[in-house]
Amino acid sequence: MHCGLCLDACPTFRVTGLETESPRGRIYLMTQWKRGQMTFDEKQVKHIDLCLGCRTCEAVCPSGVPYGRIIEAGRSEVERMRRPTAKRWIAKTALRQLVAHPRRLRAFGAMTRVAQAVRLTSVVSSGRQLPALRAAFKPPADGVAPAIGTRPYRVAFLVGCVMPILYPQSHDAAVKLLQLAGCDVWFPQNERCCGALHAHNGDLQEAERLRDYNSRVYASGQFDALVVDSAGCGSHLKDFYPELKGRVKDLSEWLAEIGMPQPKRDVKVKVTYQDACHLAHAQRIKKQPRELIRSVPGVQLVEMRHPDICCGAAGLYSTLEAQMSRRILDEKIDDLTSTGAELVVTANPGCQMQLAAGLSARGSQVRVEHVSELLVRAY
């Protein structure tokens, strides 16, 4: 396809105006390499690296080109052919040897928490600043958080990899909301990273290995839905776990579907909502989180001009491509602060971290939370 309707939706094209930094340009480059009509050039790989994988282009494409699948497959080919840089080798190793192993990741989180307490993190910090870490999220000892009141549903809950380390309070809020909505919440034992970060960075082999492992874990239990409160993970599970087809639900999607009890108290705050890319564009979920936010008494929801344009987080992108990430973030923070909101909520940990870093750099007092944290306050 050559229509170019995706160009103005693409964050990297918006800030550069370059065809090579657009979905159309990247698809052309990858197909030429694949067909042998253009010699593989490591200098041109930068155009593939600079793609955020936000999939905004998919949402506006009149022909339904599956760009997310294309860029992940293309990156896998690129990683096979290129000479790896030190930074990318470290990233791949960290994903395979740390993120894919829950116990190692929790140990790393505990060490980082100690380092933050004694102010040593500046020595090792890179890209986005980590949030102040709390004790990691822990599922109940018996593996189930029982419903409050009636029990019409039994759901599995994705604990995931970085979310329980970086934002345990978001998981706590999400689980409480599910309990309030009448769900027994089951935490599958031995569940590991879903593989989203690996696929996003072109390591499809490791993503497939994690998928095969987790699929066996999920097959061991009975549940109505697998509820996910991280947009990137939910998108990956829907795309790459065929045996879960129709049963993977974003938290906001599931709560809007089954309904919530009446809120107990007012939450008087002016809020703006940032669409997480893999929720809005990959999963096409935009209405449900807004409906839930508006259901909270006292909340005033004010929209940004472009709430569905990427903030520049994109997994490891803000570390690997820090300069472009900052350019995209600057545009987002301008849009966000123009709303006059006191609080910005989103549905993905990378977005939370990126927005908090951007606001902090501006000296802004606007707070950043997961949508679950706002909702649970009404109860």
Q: 188-242, pLDDT tens digit by residue?
A: 999 999 999 888 888 888 999 999 999 999 999 999 999 999 999 999 999 999 9
Predicted local distance difference test score (pLDDT) of residue 124: 45
User: In which element (H, E) is residue 105 found?
Assistant: helix 102-117
Amino acid letter for position 67: Y
Q: 3-state class of 335 per DSSP?
A: helix
Overall residue count recorded for the chain in this entry: 379
Domains of the chain: 7-81 (no CATH), 144-258 (3.40.50), 269-377 (3.40.50.1860)
Average pLDDT over residues 75-101: 81
- Residues with Cβ within 8 Å of 186's Cβ and at least 6 positions away in sequence, in order, are 143, 144, 154, 155, 156, 157, 221, 223
- 216-221 CB contacts, 8 Å cutoff, 24+ apart: 217/188, 217/189, 217/190, 217/191, 217/192, 218/156, 218/188, 218/191, 218/243, 218/244, 219/243, 220/188, 221/156, 221/186, 221/188
Amino acid letter for position 349: P
pTM, to two decimals:
0.88
Predicted local distance difference test score (pLDDT) of residue 128: 55
DSSP state of 131: P
Average pLDDT over residues 269-275: 96
Across the beta sheet with 183-186, what order do the strands follow?
A: 144-145, 183-186, 153-157, 225-228, 248-250
Structure tokens, 81 = 């052919």
Give the highest mean pLDDT range of 113-122, 245-254, 320-329: 245-254
DSSP state of 149: S
Average pLDDT over residues 91-112: 82
